[in-house]
Amino acid sequence: MSNHTAVITGSTAGLGAAFARQLAAQGYDLVLVARDGDRLRMQAESMSSQYGVGTSVIVADLVTDDGVAAVQERLADRAHPVHLLVNNAGHGLATDFIDSDLEDERKLLRLHVQTTLELSHTAATAMTRRRGGRIINVASVAGYTPTGTYSAAKSWVINFSKGLHSQLRSRGVTVTALVPGLVRTEFHQRSGITVKAAKRWMWLDADDVVREALTANAQGAAICVPARSYQMLTAGLRFMPDSMVQWAVDKRTNDSAAVGSAAPGAEYDSSADGTAEPTTEAINTVDAYKAAKAKSASKASKGRATPPPPPA
């Protein structure tokens, strides 16, 4: 058995599966958490036979109190301490807020915000007692944009993680918010979301994302934005006026709708133009925004023009 144990939520697919593979390769014993018991047990057997590490599973629905409590019990186990918690479980919604079922919206918020808070609290309490431990909370670059409930929840994850990192770093605990862009995983398919207008450079490989996240966390970073393209993009978003960011989001949404609907769950459009660089994208966005504002101002000015005097 290893001297280190990692708990990974949402471990059976996407980033969670990549975290499991890479941590097992580093010699971590794994506690794998997901809803699909059969798939979870198959993953545990695979990790154990391939990497020779200890594995255990917790079949839990993390939008329920009982599911969260089962993971908290393991995190608080003093006899078998957890050294790394990866809060990765998550999903999105394919509909706008007003078109969504309210219970679905509650579950999304429960999973991304309340569950992350509760598991982080339990883990951090145990880790500070030992004066050592690590937490990675999976967020998204969507957290920097006003695109609905999911982006609002991920914005919370980013700021929560930054604040917790600041509070705990002097007590031996590193908390890192992982902030990836679009990743080639099952996420969009399982959430029923179609991504059509994304350019080639926007798509990241799950193993690359996880590799950067583990490195950043080990180095004590509060934030990890994988890939230079997204680092540049998120840096630009922080300095853009809110009105410009909202305009760009609205334009992207309208452009995506105009393209037409792809097959359900399509993640990548191979015909999309992949040549644009982030710097070019940012410049084009600013230029287009200025042009749209100027056009709007011109129309408003014409509307306010003094009418000609009435005939004598």
Tokens of 4: 């280190």
Residues 6+ apart with CB under 8 A from 81: 5, 126, 130
230 tagged catalytic: no
For the chain, first and last CA: distance in Å? 100
Amino acid, res. 18 = A
Nearest by Cα to 247 from 201, 300, 290: 290
Residues in the chain, total: 312
Asked if 97 and 149 count as a contact pair (C-beta separation under 8 A), the reply is: yes
CA distance readout (Å), 140 to 111, 137, 178: 14, 10, 7
Single out the catalytic residue among 28, 51, 144, 150: 150
User: Partners of 229 in the beta sheet?
Assistant: none
Asked if 63 and 153 count as a contact pair (C-beta separation under 8 A), the reply is: no
Question: Annotated catalytic sites, by residue?
Answer: 150
